[in-house]
Amino acid sequence: MLKAAAKTTFDVFDPVYGIFPGQRQLSGQSPDNVLGLTRREVKLVDRVHDIEDENRRLKYHLSVSQNQLIGVLGEQQQQKNDFDEAKRKVEADDYDEGGGEEGHRQQQQQAAPCGHGHPGHKVLAKCEVIHIAMVCAGYNTTRTVVTLIKSILFYRHHPVHFHFVTDLPSKKVMETLFETWKLPQVKVDFYLSESVVNDVGWIPNKHYSGIYGLLKLTLPKILPSKLTKVIVLDTDVVLATDISRLWQLFADFKSQEALGLVENQSDWYIPGKLWKSHSPWPALGRGFNTGVILMDLAKLRSLNWSQLWRLVAEKDLVTMYGTSLADQDIFNGLLKQHPSLVHRLPCQWNLQLSDNTRSEICYSSGVHDLYIIHFNSPKKLNVKNRNVEYFRNHFLTFLQYDGNLLRRELFDCNATSTTIPLLKQTKEKDDDKENSEEQDDKCYELESARDRIYRTHPFYLDYDETQELEEGDVTLVAQLSMDRLHMVETLCSQWKGPMSLSLYLSDAEADQFVKFAHNSEVLKLRTNVGFHLVYKEGDFYPINYLRNVALKFAKTDNVFLSDIDFVPGTDAYPMLKKAASHLLTSQQSKRALVVPAFETQRYRLDDFPRSKADVIRLLDEGTLFTFRYHEWTRGHDATNYGKWRTATTPYKIQWEADFEPYVLLPRDLVPAYDLRFVGFGWNKVSHIMELAYRGTEFVVLPNVFIVHIPHAPSLDIAKYRSSEQYRKCLRALKREFINDMKLKYGELTP
């Protein structure tokens, strides 16, 4: 007697009851429910509303944090006197080892407030451009650098020009981010690290930053020759003031000074201080930290910088064998031999929160006097410091700050270029003419949603760019919002192949997503899943924009266009790869392979089907149904489920009106989803219709299937069901779309 096949069980998340310990089935329809929702769905809608209330409260707290930051800035502007010298001397009694006292006195002399109109500094022209350079390589770094960028833009009063030294994958990510962020008076240039890697690749480096931790040495070479000075920042710093105040300190440089640096705030460069046998790189006094650098590029180039630092590095590496703190060791070795090159910056411009920091000396009169906070410990936010809570909250405020609010114009600099989309510029020109008509047009809000460009950050989590993709491989493409995040783990357990998922989140929710992913035993093991963030903006869920983003960043030859609430069978991935290799060859390029869709009304499906035979059995038992059989038969009726039950080979079907199957296609032949459809209604039907207009042949696969798992109804479907005006506007968009298809392709015969 054969043993029964093992059953696959899923703990399906219910927003009301959490993880169900057993089976639960949806209750029947309530005749008094005007939206046609079940009683459980009504409860779920209430829960969604509760979640929205929590998000609103979070936004309120963020706005409070923002106001606190503004208050801190105001205090900084008012506290323009020097620190209390007597108090600082008391606290610095033991700070004089290795020249620290001398360096501290020099800082004291230079600590006069800087910034707009401060004594001793030339006031910057209103539109003078501040140039900022950073090394940004690796997917995780492209995520963390955004917090720094937000802090710069929050406080700035001048145009900013960012210069990023990146690898190729990071360049593509950052280009997409800035192209969709649309920041006025912000310019961005990229420089591929491959062009200078060989300049530093010969240096043994023990630091966790690897080869990229040495690339700041190459900035005078890789940056444009016409650029004469630049602020250089590590990606783990955060601003607490206007960066133009730091830019003004270039005016304090003496004739030979070319590098503005803050003294190191730990005992690292003092031999034998941290432990008896500790032998660091040679340094001037306590040494300098290179997380913040004012770099006079013109002077460095005149000194033949590349040869200068290389000679020092070669000499010191004879005895040091390698660097422990990457470029910082070499900078310090060079300044030991050429002390006239350094200009000492006040320590408030680089508060260092390393493990052995003695940075308290920098804020003896209060933490509000700090300008740049540097999390230079590998522990980052978990570093130990008596005021770390304040620093952590400052960082988290910008981490969760709505980046869309930074799209503000610098009105005194309107002559500079802006990055407002051409489409929006054209629309703005016609505003005066059409403003009155738009106010009367009840569909304007829905119709104009298609023109919005959403801030987009692809590959938000680490992704293995080096993985070898098989020819004809298949990527599952889907989109989701925060309330569907729990479904990703289930999907990953069933689909082992590559996935491209776009997420519609706020900045605060993005932080929650990172924590969720890093704590998930399933997700942290997957490096073939691309998570692409689209940041929330406006009142409608941009479902087709999200699908286009996920589709754009899929890397395989073929794509399976699915939705996040569908779970594929365990063998779906290998079976779709095999089907693609046989049925999606160049001879059958205009072909879409249809994967039949089913649904369960149970939030916990103890007996998830492992094969087609299981699906048929569960259909007969009433545990599974063909998808939307009770609500929207036309959406999947053309699949011909009756024929599928007995089919052993793929079979052709005819497109029918309102058909919206889930299909496998060659990636290069997939048209973009139409952006006029947002929220609920016709977003996928229109895509399948365009495939039909293009002459696509639809073929149903006989042994592959997906199962829809129930969840709380979206607010968009509630809008559709409750608003006649919404449905009226959607019908108008449908007519407009069909007319566009006819103009583009001609008549369509079902």
- Greater model confidence, 117 or 472: 472
pLDDT at 458 over 80: yes
Domain shared by 443 and 460, yes or no: no
- Greater model confidence, 22 or 316: 316
CATH number of the domain at 383, please. 3.90.550.10
Confidence at residue 55, expressed as pLDDT on a 0 to 100 scale: 58
Domain boundary pick from 402, 437, 467: 402
Domain shared by 468 and 319, yes or no: no
pLDDT at 404 over 60: yes
One DSSP character per residue, 626-664 reads: ETTTTT-GGGTGGG-HHHHHH--S-EEE---TT---EEE
- Greater model confidence, 585 or 328: 328
Confidence at residue 262, expressed as pLDDT on a 0 to 100 scale: 95
Residue 121 pLDDT class (50, 70, 90 cuts): low
In degrees, to the nearest 5, what angle opens at C-alpha 320 toward C-alphas 317 and 321? 65
Residue 497 pLDDT class (50, 70, 90 cuts): very high
Domain shared by 360 and 475, yes or no: no
689-722 tens-digit pLDDT: 999 999 999 999 999 999 998 866 667 777 777 7
Domain shared by 571 and 441, yes or no: no
Whether residue 442 contacts residue 466, with contact meaning beta carbons closer than 8 Å, is answered with: no
pLDDT at 184 over 60: yes
Domain shared by 440 and 369, yes or no: no
User: What is the Cα–Cα distance from 79 to 100, expressed in whole angstroms?
Assistant: 26
374-387 tens-digit pLDDT: 987 766 676 676 77
Domain shared by 514 and 385, yes or no: no
Mean model confidence pLDDT for the chain: 82
Domain shared by 443 and 566, yes or no: no
Domain shared by 434 and 506, yes or no: no
Confidence at residue 507, expressed as pLDDT on a 0 to 100 scale: 96
pLDDT at 321 over 50: yes
User: What is the Cα–Cα distance from 608 to 696, expressed in whole angstroms?
Assistant: 32
Q: Which residues of 307-332 are buried (b: 16+ CB within 10 A; e: fewer)?
A: eebbebbeebbeebeebebbbbbbbb
- Greater model confidence, 558 or 81: 558
- For residue 160, being part of any structural domain is answered with yes
Confidence at residue 290, expressed as pLDDT on a 0 to 100 scale: 95
User: What is the Cα–Cα distance from 315 to 282, expressed in whole angstroms?
Assistant: 11
pLDDT at 223 over 90: yes
- For residue 81, being part of any structural domain is answered with no
Confidence at residue 441, expressed as pLDDT on a 0 to 100 scale: 76
Confidence at residue 58, expressed as pLDDT on a 0 to 100 scale: 56
Q: Is 428 helix (H, G, I), strand (E, B) or coil?
A: helix
Confidence at residue 61, expressed as pLDDT on a 0 to 100 scale: 53
Averaged pLDDT, 634-648: 94
Residue 80 pLDDT class (50, 70, 90 cuts): very low
Q: Could you tell me the CA-to-CA distances from 10 to 160, 164, 493, 629, 703 in Å, in that order?
A: 51, 45, 10, 23, 21
Domain boundary pick from 362, 378, 402: 402
Q: Length of the chain, please?
A: 750
- Greater model confidence, 75 or 235: 235
- For residue 728, being part of any structural domain is answered with yes
Q: Could you tell me the CA-to-CA distances from 309 to 217, 330, 473 in Å, in that order?
A: 8, 7, 48
39-69 tens-digit pLDDT: 655 665 565 556 556 655 555 555 545 555 4
530-565 tens-digit pLDDT: 999 999 998 899 999 999 999 999 999 999 999 999
- For residue 33, being part of any structural domain is answered with no
Q: What dihedral do alpha carbons 270, 216, 172, 157 form, nearest 10°? A: 90
Domain shared by 359 and 232, yes or no: yes
Confidence at residue 448, expressed as pLDDT on a 0 to 100 scale: 83
CB-facing half-sphere around the CA of 359: CA atoms within 13 A: 32
- For residue 565, being part of any structural domain is answered with yes
Domain shared by 445 and 551, yes or no: no
pLDDT at 22 over 80: no
- For residue 122, being part of any structural domain is answered with no
Residue 525 pLDDT class (50, 70, 90 cuts): confident
pLDDT at 418 over 50: no
Total domains present in the chain:
3
pTM: 0.80
Domain shared by 443 and 303, yes or no: no
What count of other Cβ atoms lies within 10 Å of the Cβ of residue 640?
17
pLDDT at 16 over 50: no
- For residue 161, being part of any structural domain is answered with yes
- Greater model confidence, 656 or 387: 656
> For residue 89, what are the contacts with CB-CB under 8 A and spacing of at least 6?
none
Structural domain that includes position 360: 128-402
Averaged pLDDT, 283-311: 95
Whether residue 400 contacts residue 508, with contact meaning beta carbons closer than 8 Å, is answered with: yes
- Where is average pLDDT lowest: 111-125, 253-267, 308-322, 468-482? 111-125
Q: Could you tell me the CA-to-CA distances from 59 to 52, 177, 408, 620 in Å, in that order?
A: 10, 22, 19, 49
Domain shared by 433 and 329, yes or no: no
- For residue 12, being part of any structural domain is answered with no
- Where is average pLDDT lowest: 7-11, 565-569, 697-701? 7-11
DSSP alpha helices (H): ranges in 1-99?
39-78, 85-91
- Greater model confidence, 79 or 710: 710
Whether residue 540 contacts residue 492, with contact meaning beta carbons closer than 8 Å, is answered with: no
Whether residue 551 contacts residue 674, with contact meaning beta carbons closer than 8 Å, is answered with: no
Residue with tokens 């590098």: 259
Confidence at residue 246, expressed as pLDDT on a 0 to 100 scale: 97
